[in-house]
Amino acid sequence: MTIRLALASDHGGFALKQTLKTSLGTLDVDIVDLGVNTADAVDYPEKAHDLSETILSKKADLGVLICGTGIGVSIAANRHPGIRAALCTDPFMARMSRAHNDANILCLGGRVVGPGLALEIVSAFLEGAYEGGRHARRLEKIDLK
């Protein structure tokens, strides 16, 4: 099954987003590129909100958000009920974010991880699958009522 993967970044993540976009062409994914398309400065919350809305409206299955550290976009994305954005710095974290937390957005730091490691992290995220079971009870407690 082809995964619809949304990508977005601010200027701090632009170079890594472009590299990932090219590299992911070898995987079974349809890329939805939400920008940015230049290294000109942009406010990261705008890109995080755009990508979160794309996931929530089911225009993409999963997303990857990139800013300088990955911290800002993860905070902004997680403001949306139903979004579970995980900042990951290695493939194990990415795999576990899917398996235990049913993460639907992967956040990366363009100034933190290099392109080779980033591709490994994204691949692990895409290959991961939610395990359910004991984790479902915990997920139900995330969104405040």
Residue 145 lies in a domain: no
Q: Catalytic one among 80, 88, 100, 107? A: 100
Give DSSP secondary structure letters for 59-105: S-SEEEEEESSSHHHHHHHTTSTT--EEE-SSHHHHHHHHHHH---E
Q: In this structure, how many other beta carbons lie within 10 angstroms of the beta carbon of residue 10?
A: 26
In total, the chain counts a number of residues equal to 145
Give the CATH number of the domain where residue 56 resides: 3.40.1400.10
Residue type, 44: Y
Q: Catalytic one among 49, 67, 88, 107? A: 67
Number of folded domains that form the chain: 1
Domain boundaries, position 91: 3-140
Which pLDDT score is estimated for 3? 93
* Best CA proximity match to 108, nearest among 24, 3, 29: 24
Query: pLDDT tens-digit profile of 106-123?
Result: 999 999 999 999 999 999
DSSP letter, residue 37: -
88 carries an active-site annotation: no
Residue 19 lies in a domain: yes
Query: pLDDT tens-digit profile of 80-109?
Result: 999 999 999 999 999 999 999 999 999 999
107 carries an active-site annotation: no
Query: For residue 29, is the peptide bond before it cis, meaning its omega torsion is within 30 degrees of 0?
Result: no
The structure's pTM equals: 0.94
